[in-house]
Every structure is written in structure tokens, then in C-alpha cells.
Amino acid sequence: MDKKVPRSDIIETEIPMGTVHPAALEPYRVRFFVEDEIVQEAEITIGVNHRGIERIMEGLPVQKANALTEKICGICSNAHIWNSCRTAELGLGIEIPERAKYIRVIMGELERLHSHFLYLAHGCEVLSHETFSMRVFYLREIVMELLAMIGGNRVQYGCSVLGGVRPRCELDDARIERLKNDLNAIEEGLTGFVDRFLADSILLSRVTGIGVLPQKQAIELAVTGPSLRATGVARDLRTTMFEYDDFDFNVITQPDGDVKSNLVMRALESFESIKIIRQAIANLPEGKLVNQDWEMFDTDLSESYIEVPRGTLYHSYALESGRVRHCIIRTPSMANIGAMQYACIGDQITDAQLCIVQCDPCFTCTDRAIEIIRR
Amino acid sequence: MGLKSFSRARAIHVMLVYTGGCNGCDIEIVNSILSPRFDAEQYNVFLTWNPREADVLVVTGPVTHLNRKPLEKIYEAIPNPKLVVAAGSCALMGGVYKNCYGDIPSEEIEGPVENIIPVDAKVPGCAVRPQDVLAGVVSLLPTLLDAD
Amino acid sequence: MFSNTLLNSVVAVILTVLVCFVISTFLPGIERKYVHARIQQRIGPAVIAPGIMAPIKFMFKENVEISSPVPKLYKILPILCFIVVLCVLIALTPQAYKIPALASLVAIVGFLKVEEICYVLMGALSKSVMSVRMPFPDRVKGAAHLKAPLSFIEDISARRSLRMITYGSFPLYLALFAPVTAVRSIFLQDIVAFQQANGPFLFTVSGAIAAIVFFIGYMIILNEYPFSIIKAKSDVIEGPYMEYAAKYRAVVFITRGFFMFVLGAVFSVLFLGIPPNIFSWGILVNIIVALIFVFMMGIFSAFSPVFTNRQLLPTILGATLLGILSIVVGLL
């Protein structure tokens, strides 16, 4: 496909949307430049959500800062606390017990399930297909209750702590039994949904070829995560993370980079997540949950990349006398904003919000001070 | 119970305004209205995105600087009688973000919501549970029914 | 003697309209609770909530100053829409057949056109807070296209309704004129008399095709889900109705339910030959037809996403061709 170029010369009119809009789950402003209902260019303005979390974290003890990272985002909260703990652990050289590692993976994958279900449901909602949206929300409720069972809260679970996981998140036999049963229910429901979705020709005609992001363009814009995999690039950081060494899973890709590819890819990836959780439950090692045998010392920059539901998450810490001296967090939506603006071009204005939703935006994650302090 | 209260009890339009929280509350609330598990419509609570239609404004988030004016505008656009539910600890007291500079006032966070618009009910929680939001909206019912 | 007949007719029409109106207020609730909510596996709202209680609630709300360049005209429009729908219903009652100018297909088509033009004006006059008027510093130094003219989201909606006038309502009008091919008269009196003599038009080949076209046109003119492009939630939120508050919104809510019923009555007159009349059992047929249409529309809208211009054009073109086919079959 030819490269789509935003036309800058003749613009008929500008239609701003936001900061509150039904198609957006979070505040952001978007300006669409439209000619005859065809979007010629889009400009997303973020910063509405800026709260300065990195600034708050500076000077806090590491444990507190870890807990605070959860408040960055209500969708991938576990990913943030996981990566934050992982960064500190890498810097301080803390060994994590095997059981804790497995429980972190289970939480991470459950969170991926809930994020992907939210994506599917929200996508259907923006398509105005209320019924499908309801069905996916119903499935998502099962995942939310599993998360609440393990973490004790529906949104922010606080599962990881420095050196392992919180004792509250111990998986005993009853919990594992419930996890197993619910996973079966989720798999059954999701299979039904995917079959139904792929058989619905009206819906498919509505999503095929909309919001196309060509592979070359995606690489140029440094798109990460599922949005990249939907353009046919098999790049998944989980294949390089040591936590996932014991698990067998496939990296799902889809060829086209349009809304259909994105939706189908998320659905198929959810099956892989279920597979990983099943493997984790079957081989859950015995042992303690937290390794408290470590010492705090000043560290230079330590950094960590992990694959979160929406892409690549980067954290970096420098510690000084047990406190965070500096911290940088880079979230996946930061990289994907370019893709969102690009995907809108050439589509109907009705589809424009869909094209933004297709890249899985999470601007609450992204709106933070980007302040680089180097020694 | 007159016709006024009777009709108000059977059609409540709720509008959600997110003002820069962490997204957790927003999704839990949209969820509680949308998902079949909680299904707020069975209590005749409808989700709307048009301030002219709304009766109850649910506000989440600590109200960041850029969100202050949109929130005021939307509040003004709602016809009387109108009620405001502040949901989540950020909306109640600014959450973890409010006092990040100690005694120096933060330029970023304008909240809590009470500083900007009058709040009638407060729903605590980080993040709020859908049951709590429903309870919050329902607890407002007597006020709403008796309003002029 | 004459005045007595006239009085009787007026009383009959008023009673018919009242009964129809009361029944019509249940239709949105029935669609929401018994169709959408059932399909979505939830309990759903009370039947009276969306159609009756919501308008009454809005009646008791305080009116606000709406933001519109011509507020008075903007406020009149929903009332005009309601009157238009009322006129269509009155034209359908057998008592009105004595006024041929009113009880003809041309009059009904004219009334429906007025309804459509109202959407264009509503869209153009509504200036909601949700887009341009939202105070947000986005036209700042460094932003793209600072000099581009600004549009409200309702402006797109107005432009879309204009487009819908030009081609969107073809299917409905073709279906309305399909019975004419059999009866050779555009007066409702003749259409009803012909069908009472020769059996309903619906059960002929031409009639069956025209009924399908009528159903598609019915959904288009009601702006129900697949065809709700002028009030698509994904971009224009509520489109033309954005700024209505209090009493005017109540009228909007009432008109929708009433319009559903009236279109059902149009179908039963044109395709079954049974006019709405309070003094005959035929009115039960009207009610049943209206209910069947609401159920079918609910099922169809629950399973389809909103159509953009890309899908709308082929769908409407297909329906139009089908309508022409039914007329051709009727003529042969």
C-alpha cells in the first residue's frame, strides 16, 4: 500500500472532539481536519491528565514509589507495579522466589486478558454494536472477579512487592480450583464470541480496511505491542523476558494492520494468555513468596523493559539511600500516538474515533512529566 | 408521591466526566452502567453523554488544570435540578496527587471536585466499586425527588 | 345533520389519536426492555421508563438558555416535528378520507419531508458545548492548521441529514407508492377500498417486496441503529438533538415513540387496508403491526453496528432498486 500523506494545503474544516466524548474512555482532545467527511489529518493533544507522578515519586522510599506507580493507570496497574519492582530488583540484585515469579506471570496474564477484553468491548461500543460490547463486558467481569479474588481489589491489586509478591496474593488450592473453572468459562465464552464475530458479515464489512497502518509505517513510527503485531511484525518482549522462559506460547500476528486485524489479534492473543495461565497453574512451584534477604544500597541507573497489554513499558530508577533519586517511565501509548494520528487519515469521520481506539490508547498512562535528569 | 417524584425515580440520566484520574474509576463506572452483570438500567439509570439530558453528573479524578474549565462548562450546561456525585478518592480529596509538593500548592491539581462545583454525594474507593457507585446514585434519590 | 356528522368525525379522530398516542409511548420501552435487554442478557429498564417517565421528568426540569444562533426557531422545530407526525396520523384515519387533499400519499410524503428538513435545521442551529465551545487551549503555537474554519459536531450531522434527504429516504417513498401500481389511485380512500375488496396488497409479489423496502425505509427515517448516522454516538453524540433541554427534550422523546407507531399505521393502511379507527376492531391490527415493526427493528438494530457513508450508500441503493423492482412487478 502506498504511503498515506496528510494533505496540508486545502483543509475544509476542523472538528474538535473532547475532552469528554463517548468514544473516549479518558480525557484527551483531538482535532480532525476534515474534507467532505473524510479525515485529512488528525492532531491529538494530550497533557489533560498531567499529574506529575514522576515528580511525586522522586524522594520517596522505593517501596512507596512502587505502590505509587500503580496509580499511573487503572487499566494496566499491575504491569506498572511489576515493572517498577523489577527495575528496583534488577538494580539491587534481588533474587525472586520461583513461586512469586509464577504468580506475577499469572497476574500479568490475567491483566492482559482484562485489558484485551476491555479493548474488544470498547471497540464494539465505538462501532455502536451494543450487544457484542455487552457480551465481552460480561466475560470481562469473570476476569475482574478473579483479579479481585487474588489481589483483593478490582482495579489496583498491589500484587508485586520488592522481592516477590504480597502474601495476600498466595494461590491456595481453592483459589487454583476457581481459577481453573473460570478459565474454562472464559475460554468457552471467548470462542463463542470469536466465532460469532468472524461470521458476522455486516460487522466485518464495517471493520475491514479501516484505519490501515502499513507495516513499514508502523516500524517508522516505532509502534509497539499488539498494534505492531497486528501489522505483521512478530515482536513480543515476552519472548525475551526471563519470567516467561518456562512457558510455551505463540506470538500472534495478523497481516493487515486495520481494525479487523487488531480486534482479531487481541482475541487470539487472549487464548495464548489462557494457555500461559494454565501452564503456570499446572507447574506452580512450592516455596516462599517474598525474598526478604537483601540489602539496600545506592544504585546507578537501572532499567527494565517488559511487555504489557498495550505495548512496551520502560521504567528506570536510580536509588540513593533507599529513596528514588530519579525515575523515568515510558508507556506504550507514548509511542502509539503517532500511529493513532496516522490511522485516521483517509477514513470517514465516523470511523475516526474507532481508528484512535484501534491503537489501544491509554493517555492517563502517557500524561506524565518527561523530565530527564542525568548526572 | 406526586407525578414529579414518580417520574424522576423512574428515569435518571447519568453523565460521566473524567477529569484526569487514573482511568480505573472511569472504566468501573462505565462498566457498571454497561455490563450486564451490574446493569444499572434495571434501576432505570441511563448513561448519557449529553449534558443537556443529564440529571446526575458523576465526576472522577482530581481535576487537573486543563480539565477545570471543561468541567465548569459541562456543569453549567446541565439544566436544574442537577446533582453531582464525586466518585473515587481523587475526586474526594485529590488522592495521591494532591499534596505532592507538601505545603506548596500544586499547580497541576485544581481539585478536589468540591473546590470547583458543589458536590452532593461522595463515593469513596480507589478504585470505586460499581456497587458503590450505584449506591451513591441511589442515595441521592431523595434529594433529587424532592428538588423543585 | 351535517354538523352532527362533522362532530362525530372530529370526536372519533381525537379519540383515535389519543389511544394511538398512549400506546405509542410504550414502544421505546418495549424495544429497550423486551428486545435489546433480552438479547444482551440483562434485565433492562422498566417498560414505562424510556417512553413515558423520561418525557414527564424532562417536563419538570428547569429550562436553560440554549446556545443556538436562532434559539426560538430551534425550540419550535421539535414541536413542528410532533405536529407533522400528528398530521400523518390524522390523514390515515378513515374520517379524514373526506378531505382528499389530506388523505393522499402526496400529502403523507410531504409531511415526512418536512420532518426530514427539520433535522437539517436542528443540526445547523445546535451549538453544543461538547466540541468547539469546550474551553481547551488546542489552537496554540505549533499546532497544525491554525486558520482552518471550525465546525461543531452538529454541523456534520446537518450535512449528513441533507445527504439523507437527497437519497436516504428513497426506499420509503418508493414503498409508499408501490400500492398505487395496483390501485391506480393515490388517495387513501381508494387504496383502502381496493384492499378490502381484493385482499391485502401485502400478499402479492409486488407487495411482499415493497414491504421489505418499507421496513428498511422505516429504520432509515427513524434513525435507528444501523442507519443512525446523523446521531451516531461515535462522533456526533446525539447530533441534531444535542441542545434540547427540559420540555423540548420531552417533545423529542415523545415524537420518537409516536413516529414509530404512526409509521406502523401507515404500513397497515397501505399494505393491509386497515385504517386506524377507534370504533372498529381494525385498530388492534394497527397496534399489532406497530409492535411487530418495533420488535423487528429492535432485533435488527441490536445486531448491527452503525453504518458509515461507505456502507450506507450501497444499502440504500440496493433497497431503492428493490423498491423499483416492486413497482415494476406491480405495473406488469
Listed by start position, the domains of chain C span: 2-134+149-331
Residue C155 pLDDT > 80: yes
Tell me the chain A residues in contact with residue B110 when contact means C-beta distances shorter than 8 Å. none
DSSP secondary structure letters along B48-88: E--TTT-SEEEEES--BGGGHHHHHHHHHHSPSS-EEEEES
Residue A182's pLDDT band (cuts 50, 70, 90): very high
Residue pLDDT, tens place only, A111-155? 999 999 999 999 998 888 889 999 999 999 999 999 999 988 888
Using the beta-carbon criterion (under 8 Å), do C135 and B70 form an inter-chain contact? yes
A334/A138 Cα distance (integer angstroms): 30
Pair B116, B50: CB distance under 8 Å: no
- Min Cα separation B64/chain A (Å): 6
Q: How many CB atoms lie within 10 A of CB C65?
A: 8
In the prediction, which pLDDT does A36 show? 83
Size of interface A-C (CB pairs under 8 A): 131
Tell me the chain B residues in contact with residue A118 when contact means C-beta distances shorter than 8 Å. 27
Residue A103's pLDDT band (cuts 50, 70, 90): very high
The C-alpha cell 385498530 sits at C283
Query: What average pLDDT does the segment B141-148 reach?
Result: 80
Query: What average pLDDT does the segment A227-236 reach?
Result: 89
Beta bridge partners of A132: none
Q: How many CB atoms lie within 10 A of CB B148?
A: 7
Using the beta-carbon criterion (under 8 Å), do B73 and C129 form an inter-chain contact? yes
In the prediction, which pLDDT does A371 show? 42
Out of B3, B8, B52, closest to residue C249 by CB: B52
Pair B47, B11: CB distance under 8 Å: no
Collapsing DSSP to helix, strand or coil, C298 comes out as helix
Task: Tell me the three cell numbers of residue C111.
Answer: 409531511
B57/A52 Cα distance (integer angstroms): 26
**CB-based contact (8 Å) between C132 and chain A?**
yes
- The set of residues, in sequence order, having a beta carbon less than 8 Å from that of A12 and lying 6+ positions away, is A33, A34, A35, A36, C148, C149
Using the beta-carbon criterion (under 8 Å), do A134 and B34 form an inter-chain contact? yes
Torsion of CA C241, C247, C250, C256, to 10 degrees: -60
- Min Cα separation C307/chain A (Å): 7
Residue B55 pLDDT > 80: yes
Touching subunits of A (3+ CB pairs, under 8 Å) are B, C
Torsion of CA B31, B34, B38, B42, to 10 degrees: 150
In the prediction, which pLDDT does A372 show? 40
Query: What average pLDDT does the segment A150-167 reach?
Result: 88
Using the beta-carbon criterion (under 8 Å), do B50 and C43 form an inter-chain contact? no
- Of B7-16, C136-145, C294-303, the one with minimum mean pLDDT is C136-145
**CA–CA distance from C176 to each of A221, B112, C169, C265, C332 (Å)?**
54, 58, 11, 12, 18
Residue A184 pLDDT > 90: yes
Using the beta-carbon criterion (under 8 Å), do C149 and A12 form an inter-chain contact? yes
Bin A112: left if φ > 0, else alpha if -120 < ψ < 50, else beta: alpha
Interface list for C 221-280 with A (CB within 8 A): 225-226, 228-229, 232-235, 237
Task: Tell me the three cell numbers of residue A238.
Answer: 515476552
C241/C122 Cα distance (integer angstroms): 7
B146/C314 Cα distance (integer angstroms): 52
**Hey, of A206, A350, A351, which one would you mutate to test binding to chain C, going by the most C CBs within 10 A of its CB?**
A350
In the prediction, which pLDDT does A334 show? 81
In the prediction, which pLDDT does A276 show? 93
Mean confidence (pLDDT) of chain A: 87
Using the beta-carbon criterion (under 8 Å), do B4 and C129 form an inter-chain contact? no
B51/C174 Cα distance (integer angstroms): 39
C329/C182 Cα distance (integer angstroms): 10
Q: How many CB atoms lie within 10 A of CB C308?
A: 21
- The set of residues, in sequence order, having a beta carbon less than 8 Å from that of B63 and lying 6+ positions away, is B19, B20, B71, B91, B109, B110, B111, B112, B113, B115, B116
Q: Strand A38-45 relative to strand A160-161: parallel, antiparallel, unpaired? A: unpaired
Residue A368's pLDDT band (cuts 50, 70, 90): low
Nearest CA in chain A to C301: A129
The A-side interface with B (CB below 8 A) comprises 19-22, 25-27, 47-53, 55-56, 68, 71-75, 77, 118, 121, 125, 133-134, 137-138, 140-141, 153-156, 362, 364, 367
In the prediction, which pLDDT does A6 show? 67
Pair A132, A139: CB distance under 8 Å: no
Query: What average pLDDT does the segment A57-69 reach?
Result: 87
Tell me the chain C residues in contact with residue A363 when contact means C-beta distances shorter than 8 Å. none
Q: What ipTM was assigned to the predicted interfaces of this complex?
A: 0.91
Pair A79, A277: CB distance under 8 Å: no
* Size of chain B, expressed as the number of residues it contains: 148
Taking alpha carbons only, the member of C284, C281, C286 closest to residue C268 is C286
Touching subunits of B (3+ CB pairs, under 8 Å) are A, C
Collapsing DSSP to helix, strand or coil, B17 comes out as strand
Interface list for B 10-49 with C (CB within 8 A): 10-11, 13, 36, 39, 41-42, 44, 46, 49
Query: What average pLDDT does the segment C271-287 reach?
Result: 86
Task: Tell me the three cell numbers of residue C286.
Answer: 394497527
In the prediction, which pLDDT does A185 show? 93
Out of C54, C133, C136, closest to residue B11 by CB: C54
As a whole number of Å, the CA-based R_g of chain B is 15
C154/C151 Cα distance (integer angstroms): 8
Query: What average pLDDT does the segment A344-354 reach?
Result: 88
- Longest CA pairwise span in chain B (Å): 52
Taking alpha carbons only, the member of C167, C164, C70, C44 closest to residue C116 is C164
C47/C42 Cα distance (integer angstroms): 14
In the prediction, which pLDDT does A2 show? 66
pLDDT over 70 for what percent of chain A? 96
Using the beta-carbon criterion (under 8 Å), do B42 and C42 form an inter-chain contact? yes
Residue A370 pLDDT > 60: no
Task: Tell me the three cell numbers of residue A4.
Answer: 498515506
Tell me the chain C residues in contact with residue A11 when contact means C-beta distances shorter than 8 Å. 145, 148
B19/B33 Cα distance (integer angstroms): 19
**CA–CA distance from C197 to each of A140, C200, C207 (Å)?**
58, 9, 16
C276/C269 Cα distance (integer angstroms): 8
Residue pLDDT, tens place only, B13-30? 999 998 888 888 888 888
Beta bridge partners of A302: A317
Mean confidence (pLDDT) of chain B: 85
Task: Tell me the three cell numbers of residue C122.
Answer: 436542528
Q: Strand B56-60 relative to strand B83-87: parallel, antiparallel, unpaired? A: parallel
Torsion of CA A306, A307, A310, A314, to 10 degrees: 20
- The pTM score is 0.93
In the prediction, which pLDDT does C297 show? 92
C25/A119 Cα distance (integer angstroms): 36
Phi, psi of A349 (to 5 degrees): -65, -25
Residue C278 pLDDT > 50: yes
- Min Cα separation C38/chain B (Å): 10
Collapsing DSSP to helix, strand or coil, A211 comes out as coil
Residue A194 pLDDT > 90: yes
Nearest CA in chain B to A148: B129
Query: What average pLDDT does the segment C62-91 reach?
Result: 89
Query: What average pLDDT does the segment A63-76 reach?
Result: 86
- The set of residues, in sequence order, having a beta carbon less than 8 Å from that of A172 and lying 6+ positions away, is none
Q: Strand B12-18 relative to strand B56-60: parallel, antiparallel, unpaired? A: parallel
Query: What average pLDDT does the segment A77-105 reach?
Result: 91
Task: Tell me the three cell numbers of residue C136.
Answer: 481547551
CA atoms within 13 A on the CB side of C70: 9
